[in-house]
Amino acid sequence: MESCNWVLKYVPFMLLVFFLSSFSTYSTPATTTTTTTTSSSSYSSLEVVISNTTAMHRNFTAISDFRLINRQSLKDCSASSPSLQINVTSSSKSGLLDDEFVTVTVSGVSTPSNDDWVAMISPSNSNVNTCLLNELYYLQTGDTAKLPLLCHYPVKAQMMNNDPDYLSCKKKQCKKYQNGKCTVTTCSGSIKFHVINIRSDIEFVFFSGGFLTPCMVGRSTPVKFSNPKKPLYGHLSSIDSTGTSMRLTWVSGDNQPQQIQYGDGKSATSVISTFSQNDMCSTIALPSPAKDFGWHDPGYIHSAVMTGLKPSSTFSYKYGSDEVGWSEKIQFSTPPAGGSDELRFIAFGDMGKTPLDDSKEHYIQPGALSVVKAITDYANSNNVNSIFHIGDISYATGFLAEWDYFLHLISPIASKLSYMTAIGNHERDYIGSGSEYVTPDSGGECGVPYETYFPMPTAAKDKPWYSIEQASIHFTIISTEHDFSQNSEQYQWMQKDMASVNRQKTPWLIFMGHRPMYTSYSGLLGVDQKFIAAVEPLLLKNKVDLVLFGHVHNYERTCSIYQGACKAMPKKDANGVDTYDNRNYTAPVHAVIGMAGFTLDNFSNNVNKWSLVRISQFGYLRAHATKTDLNLEFVVSNTKNVQDTFRITK
């Protein structure tokens, strides 16, 4: 939500940016080295506006000093520690493993300081010395500091004082003796980085001066992955409602077709896609990280469909090729076919990723790790058929290496179950890109990486709405980031999709998207009345049972609600569980489930009548549906306790 607050708070600035971008003749550059041209008059007027906006950008894109790192003038401090050495120790002798903790040892430091830090930068030939001589290109954080800047954003970084012996110089080396006495002493320290295979080689760069006044002291020799082409991060999704076909999507540095080998001797060949910096969006007034300093080559995204499977069944597969290697053999389950009786699914929004080491990253979601672990533990020991992640997926937001870290995080569970997604503002929105909301929330990704990594059964590119049936449920999944007004293509689709549901076959209709219609979150932006006015009538008309949204980072459940008023209240069943009797349908029940990772939003003290349960803790929603009973539980990830239970009956 923080970005939304930003938008409202700084609407005048946004309007100016939008105005400038709308009237600019600028087209997005083919490469990051393109020099932007603009008239000096528009530059100076823009600079006047932006020069006082550092605080604003700190709120929005910065959050921490680390997020401004590429905005700082970069100085050379190599003379301060002339005998500096950076050694990287991997547990493998033949290059980095696909997933390991490496030890980075910095030795020869003349004066250890609290402000010393190490950046992990990839690829190793990234420009960390000088930037384009183009200040305008870097104005989005409001920093008009003189160049050069640190041009390529680190994948992650760590303070040297994470080694408790560093500042006290417990590990000393004598560099110079005089008359048998040591006259020059240097210090060293070691820190651990969690490294996963991101294909391009890595270097570790040692800086003094903290994140705000970085001064480069030295860099390691580049380290390579032992197999940059290794097929990795496989995740499954459904392609239709039959439960007989499953798509696997994975990442590799290899541009040759690979295979999935599955079942008893079947195989499917991958279709390969990728995206480039040219596919990222940007404007002259608000250049995006995706197109420039946040870019990282995604390699090749492979996708293949396994067919001829049985619904609600278990199979095994491996993916790769003899040339580049194979994944391990993985057991996976197909979801039940639409129209069958029982479904168990998990749903959440706004997850992102948490680093496994003590690093800073440009965007960290503190709850993601505990939620993924809780879901994985639960699914490994219980029958779960599918997962729905309804927007704000990785929060890479233009820092593309973070997609690999996110895929790595979810792969243990997403490689075993259908992992269906909806698009959120942090995947799609950018000024001037056609998104419904004029915010820079995707960092210039504009949905391209999302659609490539998570191909859903949608009709066309950048039309990320679809429906799918699993057992007794019809899921209608929309994009709140695309036009939903009554004349829009998406609205027409929603109308048709929900009207065509056979409620004998799938008695339950669940509607999902990213931004909510009802939330007690007291942030500045709140809900979009336009969205509610356009879409809520369709929910009532089509007797939607349950509406799930994210975007707000907490858990909240309503009464059966329409136009802000409770049309019915749940009654306690024999076990004291809130039960909504939809034999006498009145209106949908809404739940906000954006509590899967992003820093939690608190509730205000003003309680709306329609708000029945409010929990600000990390967790996920799990559901069990038969044809007559829909049971839902909100599970807190740290304790694994069920903190809310409700039922809808037919």
By the criterion CB under 5 A, which residues form the site for Fe ion?
A: 392, 424-425, 551
With beta carbons less than 8 A apart as the criterion, state whether 576 and 345 touch: no
**Could you identify the residue written with the tokens 């239709």?**
240
Nearest to 67 by CA among 170, 154, 133: 154
Q: How far is the CB of 296 from Fe ion (least distance, A)?
A: 23
In single-letter form, the type of residue at position 198 comes to I
Instruction: Say if CB 121 and CB 152 are below 8 A apart.
Output: yes
Q: In degrees to the nearest 10, what's the CA dihedral of 511, 516, 521, 526?
A: -160
- In the bound state with Fe ion, the residue whose beta carbon lies nearer, of 321 and 519, is 519
Cβ proximity to Fe ion: between 6 and 211 the closer is 6
- To Fe ion, the closest distance from the beta carbon of 474 in angstroms equals 25
DSSP helix/strand/coil, 641: coil
In the bound state with Fe ion, the residue whose beta carbon lies nearer, of 351 and 417, is 351
Residue 99 Cβ, how far from Fe ion at the closest point, in Å?
29
Cβ nearer to Fe ion, comparing 270 with 519: 519
Question: Least CB distance from residue 537 to Fe ion, whole Å?
Answer: 24
Q: Which is nearer to Fe ion, 386 or 439 (CB)?
A: 439
**Going by C-beta distance under 8 Å and a sequence separation of 6 or more, which residues neighbour residue 571?**
578, 579, 581
Strand 589-593 and strand 546-549: the pairing is: parallel
Distance CA 225, CA 445 (A): 26
Of 192 and 514, CB closest to Fe ion: 514
Alpha-helix residue ranges (DSSP H) falling in 512-642: 529-541
The CB-nearest residue to Fe ion is 551
Q: Is 435 helix (H, G, I), strand (E, B) or coil?
A: coil
Q: For the CB of residue 426, give the shortest distance to Fe ion in the complex, in Å.
A: 6
CB-CB contact of 37 with 43 (8 Å): no
CB of 23 to Fe ion, least distance (A): 29
Q: List all residues 6 or more positions away from 185 whose beta carbon is below 8 Å from its beta carbon.
A: 169, 172, 173, 174, 175
Q: Report how far residue 116's alpha carbon sits from residue 215's, in angstroms, rounded to the nearest whole number.
A: 9
Q: Which is nearer to Fe ion, 163 or 392 (CB)?
A: 392
Nearer to Fe ion, 335 or 594 (CB): 594
Report the residue number, 553 or 647, with the smaller CB distance to Fe ion: 553
> What phi and psi values does residue 160 have, to the nearest 5 degrees?
-65, -25
What separation in angstroms does the CA of 455 have from each of 237, 261, 450? 8, 20, 8
Least CB distance from residue 598 to Fe ion, whole Å?
8
Shortest CB 131 distance to Fe ion, Å:
31
CB-based contacts of 475, cutoff 8 Å, min separation 6:
388, 420, 467, 468, 469, 510, 512
What is the full DSSP assignment across 127-151? --S---S-GGGGGGGS--PPSPB--
Nearer to Fe ion, 263 or 523 (CB): 523
- What are the DSSP E strand ranges found in 349-496? 386-390, 418-422, 466-470, 473-477
State the nearest-atom distance from the C-beta of 427 to Fe ion, in Å.
9
Nearer to Fe ion by C-beta: 427 or 545? 427
Cα→Cα distances 355→389, 405, 406, 542, Å: 20, 8, 10, 43
Closest CA to 171 of 87, 96, 115: 87
CB of 480 to Fe ion, least distance (A): 9
139/431 with CB nearer Fe ion: 431
Least separation in angstroms between residue 470's CB and Fe ion is 25
Q: How far is the CB of 514 from Fe ion (least distance, A)?
A: 6
**Contacts within 8 Å (CB) and 24+ apart, 375-378:** 375/346, 375/413, 375/620, 375/637, 376/412, 376/413, 377/640, 378/346, 378/622, 378/635, 378/640
